[in-house]
Chain A
């Protein structure tokens, strides 16, 4: 007979209870709520009807696929702009003879600590044609013709917001890659130097393969963060994600559906269905990463 060691229970209980009650249980409860619909009194079980409505009913499906497509574009801009810039900055910062590295590092990280509200409004003001900072700066370099009210135009708004988000979060890939680069032992680089591999060649041939696992982690963090994003769009464009829903992503779509806006009433069950779709997308992404990428990636023993 095994004796219960009570102190283990006491140590584990608070964390497990809070985590289960506030995170795990509501997560599954939300997925369950997605299978119901509001009725005259209380709710009725409707199976997968909500998902059918979400994916195929013309009124809902248009909005859903629009938000999903926008979300993928949002993610793509991060992958193509944020992560390469972050890697480039980290490569520069990790140069052993660079002076003021700590200063640059701290300054470039500042946008990351600001809230979306500050970032959203600050950029809205700077890009605003009324204030004219952006047009007059473009004018100074002779490119005034390029200016457009980027946040107000359907074709540019989403990309502009994605780039603002890139501006804000570039510090995270920069820091993680920087840490990975610092952990590469000097002997390896010196061995390369003896063989005549220096400078850019050393980066492409020696350092990049060694930091691939970190790039993988950054990609999955970006993926989860982007498919869960809401705040920046809400702060800059409001719950309607204007102009004409061109900046609508899954987070804003779920918020609008769940809480309602203007004339549309909030619907917790459709909101749950959208949350279910988000959960599935994130789960697929995380599984692809864990089983498809991470387990196949070559890890070098350093």
Chain B
């Protein structure tokens, strides 16, 4: 407990190790970001120097904005992520409520059935998913992605949310029933607001993998109008491999929104993980 206080050398060694690893973790991101603001010669001459008056240049960003439709990609990613989260939370909370609140025949089996998907990755079924999306005409629409991500996120959402809903007091719900509220009103008005923290945890857990996924956008929605930011930057960078300014700027533009989201939600995310939600 007090060894760090007793031994300042020990504390210094701990900070040394942590600072070293923090540098390893941040260095690549830092290098990409600073070089995206430099002109081509400066990128190669002094890759580790900060951009200064002489080497500063936005040429890469200009190419990216002219050539790629990043605003559209960004919008697609937003629609897919927000849409999927909405359905995961709504459907997940409803199912979690049914499983935690009511005793009915097969409720245990139903819980197990829904929990199976936590461990089995949805990608295994890709061949048949594509076939189904083609048959229903959903291929190359954002709906295909939203449906897949909703199905993928539901098992863990139901699992986490039902754990939390078991803790909502029965007295409250029964008071609602005595007042003549319907089961739906009790769920939406009384229970949902109380499990908001758990919903935020589920949302943050799902947000990053959905935003960053490359597999399903590549397979289900590769058309120009439906490209997500991840797929769009992958294709763009593949085409501009030799234009270092453009590649570095495209990477930076893909990093920044995620970094901003992370800064906003990191406390929620870390609290979610450390509260033992994934036991």
Contacts and interface: CB of A to CB of B under 8 A. Distances in A.
Most A CB within 10 A of own CB, among B10, B18, B152: B18
A93 interface: yes
Given A15-B154, A182-B274, A29 B25 contact: no
Nearest to B129: A26
A92 B187 CA distance: 43
B11 A30 contact: no
Contact of A234 (B11, B18, B214, B270): B214
Interface string A1-38: 00001011011101110110111111101100100000
A132 interface: yes
Interface in A102-125: 104-119, 121-123, 125
B82 interface: no
Interface stretch (B52-60, B95-103, B195-203): B95-103
Interface in A252-268: 254-255, 258-259, 268
Interface residues of A, number: 92
A106 B91 CA distance: 31
Contact of B110 (A12, A167, A198): A12
| From A19, A123, A234, residue with most partner B Cβ within 10 Å | A19
A189 interface: yes
A279 B212 contact: no
Nearest to B183: A7
Contacts of B114: 15-16, 19
Given A19-B114, A116-B212, A228-B121, A11 B274 contact: no
Interface of B is mostly: helix
A177 to B, nearest CB: 10
Given A15-B94, A22-B147, A105-B270, A93 B117 contact: no
A208 interface: no
Contact of A122 (B22, B124, B251): B251
Contact of B104 (A5, A108, A220, A272): A5
A15 B123 CA distance: 19
B269 to A, nearest CB: 8
A154 interface: no
Nearest to A287: B119
A30 B126 contact: yes
Contacts of A220: 119
Given A92-B17, A133-B31, A178-B274, A286 B233 contact: no
Nearest to B104: A8
Interface in A122-170: 122-123, 125-126, 131-133, 136, 167, 170
B91 A175 contact: no
Contact of A22 (B121, B148, B218, B279): B148
A231 B182 CA distance: 47
A240 interface: no
A38 B42 CA distance: 55
A15 B95 CA distance: 6
B214 A89 contact: no
B122 A23 contact: yes
A169 B130 CA distance: 29
A128 B49 CA distance: 18
A95 interface: yes
A221 to B, nearest CB: 9
A8 B105 CA distance: 11
A115 B278 contact: no
B78 interface: no
A268 B127 CA distance: 6
B26 interface: yes
Contact of B125 (A27, A114, A175, A186): A27
B168 interface: no
B160 to A, nearest CB: 13
11 contacts: A10-B184, A14-B91, A15-B94, A15-B154, A18-B147, A26-B132, A104-B19, A109-B270, A115-B211, A176-B278, A231-B212
Given A22-B132, A224-B119, 17 more contacts: A26-B125, A33-B131, A95-B14, A98-B15, A100-B15, A109-B270, A113-B208, A114-B29, A117-B237, A121-B237, A122-B31, A122-B32, A125-B248, A131-B244, A178-B274, A282-B120, A282-B124
Interface of B: 1-5, 10-11, 14-15, 17-19, 21-22, 24-26, 28-29, 31-32, 43-44, 47-48, 87, 90-92, 94-95, 97-99, 102, 104, 110, 114, 116-117, 119-129, 131-132, 147-148, 150-152, 154-155, 158, 182-184, 187, 208, 211-215, 218-219, 230, 233-234, 237, 244, 247-248, 251, 254-255, 258-259, 261-262, 266, 269-270, 273-276, 278-279
Interface of A: 5, 7-8, 10-12, 14-16, 18-19, 21-27, 29-30, 33, 85, 88-89, 92-93, 95-98, 100, 104-119, 121-123, 125-126, 131-133, 136, 167, 170, 175-176, 178-179, 182-183, 186, 189-190, 193, 198-199, 217, 220, 224, 228, 230-231, 234-235, 251, 254-255, 258-259, 268, 271-272, 275, 278-279, 282-283, 286
